[in-house]
Structure 1
Amino acid sequence: MIQLKPVTKDNIGACVRLKVAEDQTTFVAPNINSIAWAYVAPELTPYGIYDGDTLVGFLSTEIIPDNEDYDRYWVPRFMIGADFQRKGYGRAGMMAAVEMLSNYEDCSRVRLSVVEENSAAIDFYKSIGFVLTDEYLEDERVMDYIFEGK
């Protein structure tokens, strides 16, 4: 069962050492960058993605209460370690994040951005329910997971 566990002094080293496949390094920032940003930006929370006791991935959530309703809940970082890809961890990890954020009463959508040339990531996100928007964030394409009826 997949669990999201906050990054702490006990797992920070493993989270920093976790890397994507070599051909994906231009699409995903190193995990240390996300952890460092979370230190100075309280709206960011980094998590390890675990299968039992095994760290398989990393993500960060961002909750921006001052933004418009549709623009408050983000997953600005998401990765699955190279050794754990193509085993269902990506889908399970992202859905765990979406489910966690959906527990906020005012969460009507979860947003992320993706490098437009990363067609594999776009196809992956579409396969779990994200849709492309016409918006861009720092030259990346914004995608939304919209909760019907919220």
Structure 2
Amino acid sequence: MPYNIEIKAVATDNFFECIKLEVAESQKSFVASNVFTIAQSYVDKSLIPYAICDENTVVGLAALEYNSVDKHWITRFMIGEKFQGKGYGRQAMQKLIELQAKHDDCERIRLSVVPENNGAITFYEKTGFAMTDEVIDGELVMELLLDKKIFA
């Protein structure tokens, strides 16, 4: 089902919706809380949190990162428990990829995932990410190589 997914800056009008959003209990060990992600972005200016919205409803949260070594990362990605399994994740991930791909120096997008999070690994593979041989802080690194012609 097509939704009207928008990626919006976390701001006063969506902050409380963002921090109330949670994943299922069984997923909580796989992703940082939204409060932590937003707080981390306050002290780490390379991390930018975004509300994932369908119209005016916040359905998820993502954080994008740019650093001088590995460049473009989707550092956090979550869809709220009651919105999972409905197609929001696929559409939101595509919008995040498009947002990162707009940068001239973006040749690949990277993310990391907890090794036991098989659902996320499968999801990321379906959206075009492939496993690398890298492990960072115990998490597996995946990447999506971009064909810049698609985003031109």
**Shared topology, TM-score over 0.5?**
yes
Correspondence for 1:11:
14
- 2-structure distance, mates of 1:148, 1:134: 22
Alpha-carbon distance in structure 1 between the residues aligned to 2:148 and 2:37: 32
1:120 aligned residue? 119
Shift of 1:126: 0.2
Unaligned runs of 5+ in 1: none
5 Å matches for 1:1-150? 1-64=4-67, 66-67=68-69, 71-148=70-147
Provide the rounded CA distance (Å) in 2 between the counterparts of 1:55 and 1:121. Answer: 20
Q: TM-score if structure 1 supplies the norm length?
A: 0.94
1:48-77 superposed Cα distances (whole Å, 9 cap, x missing partner): 00011111100000011x21xxx1000111
RMSD value over aligned CA atoms? 1.0
Equivalences, count: 146
Deviation (angstroms), 1:148: 2.8
User: Structure 1, residues 9-38: CA drift from partner, whole Å, max 9, x if none?
Assistant: 221111011000111111111001110011
| Amino acid in the other structure paired with 1:11 | N
**CA deviation vs aligned residue, 1:81-130 (integer Å, no higher than 9, x gap):** 00000010111111111110000001001100000111111001000100
Helix, strand or coil for the counterpart of 2:52? strand
Q: Which runs of 4+ in 1 moved over 2 A?
A: none
| Structure 2 length-normalised TM | 0.93
The one-letter code of the counterpart of 1:140 is: E
